[in-house]
Chain A
């Protein structure tokens, strides 16, 4: 399983692997929004939590269709299904690899981009915490969507339509944590709900994804 994690991360880092794609998109959103909204710092501070979370979510979505589609096209998915690793484990590892090359870097650069959006000083800790807790759910839910659409040519549109509604709770609670944190209010409740979504998705969805892949390979 470690071998699969290392391989997926290595593939993402090499040419054409799409490692920088999500990160560059996130950067563009954070740079362009202040230009579009205008230099009013009160407005920017107000919308910063939402913009940062929406940017992170869409950046995650960008690279989702690669999670299983590439392995399906070159035949490795067939071979992974017949390999001695349980398919549920394969799904979980691939979601983890996706998070390591998208969610984790997004979490780490988010404070820098918070400056561009004039995020209040109290919000930075909560921005990092909420992204660290919430982005794994984005990768696991996304891997489920990718598993459902794995056999389809150009399944990216369907994948987005399937996954976006499932992302909504994560977005609401994630942005709420940052907003409350920035205003100096208690963040316990939305953070607990966000962690609950991540834990539930990580526990259940690998099984659903594995079942979807088995059906799609027939």
Chain B
């Protein structure tokens, strides 16, 4: 399934932060979003995932095709690792909990309460949800936060497996996951504030150099 984003503008707290964002993502492709803090990566990803409406423009696929993973993992501290993941598998109507646990190297921890996991282990469990979601497009917001090098490599393999199986990945990260993915710099799409106003030429002159 192709994800096409057309002249998208996104707003955070009523202020448009990015505008004119366009890209296409075919099956088996990955796209890495880059940009300085506060540029609007999270806002863009939430808009693509259908959690907030676009200020302008359109996203070609319905949110039902997208699995979204954000900074928060959505884990319940008093449930065990297996219970947490089984819940999401039931919600998405899929199986393969044991397989997902094995691929994220969590099998040994499956009877442990989520409250007793380390930050990196929680993160791996949060990402294991992507595997049981069974959705073709993954939208990931800084997925490697608090993962060690071995876990980053493990997750890189999982993402490559997903791409190899015909899925696609839209990912905001500053870490090299070893993916053959295109990179989209969001700097040039920064929305003009009310003071800059001006034409798009003035905008390029004012901002083009900063983020190139």
Contacts from A to B (Cβ < 8 Å):
2-4, 7, 10-11, 14-17, 71, 73-76, 78-85, 217-218
Contact = CB atoms under 8 A, between A and B. Distances in A.
24 contacts: A7-B76, A10-B79, A14-B78, A14-B79, A71-B74, A73-B72, A74-B73, A74-B74, A74-B75, A75-B70, A75-B71, A75-B74, A76-B75, A76-B76, A79-B68, A81-B51, A82-B49, A82-B66, A82-B67, A82-B68, A83-B92, A84-B92, A218-B51, A218-B52
B91 A76 contact: no
Contact of B91 (A10, A15, A78, A85): A85
A80 B50 CA distance: 12
Counting chain B residues whose Cβ lies within 8 A of the other chain, the interface size class is 20 to 34
Contacts of A11: 76, 78-79
B76 A217 contact: no
A3 B91 CA distance: 7
B74 A84 contact: no
Contacts of B73: 74-75
A39 B18 CA distance: 70
B87 interface: yes
User: Majority SS of interface residues in chain B?
Assistant: loop
B53 interface: yes
B93 interface: yes
B78 A78 contact: no
A16 B78 contact: yes
Given A3-B87, A75-B74, A78-B70, A84 B64 contact: yes
B63 interface: yes
B74 A76 contact: yes
Given A11-B76, A82-B50, A84-B93, 19 more contacts: A3-B87, A7-B76, A10-B79, A11-B79, A16-B78, A74-B72, A74-B75, A75-B71, A75-B72, A75-B73, A76-B75, A78-B70, A78-B74, A81-B51, A82-B63, A82-B67, A82-B68, A84-B64, A218-B52
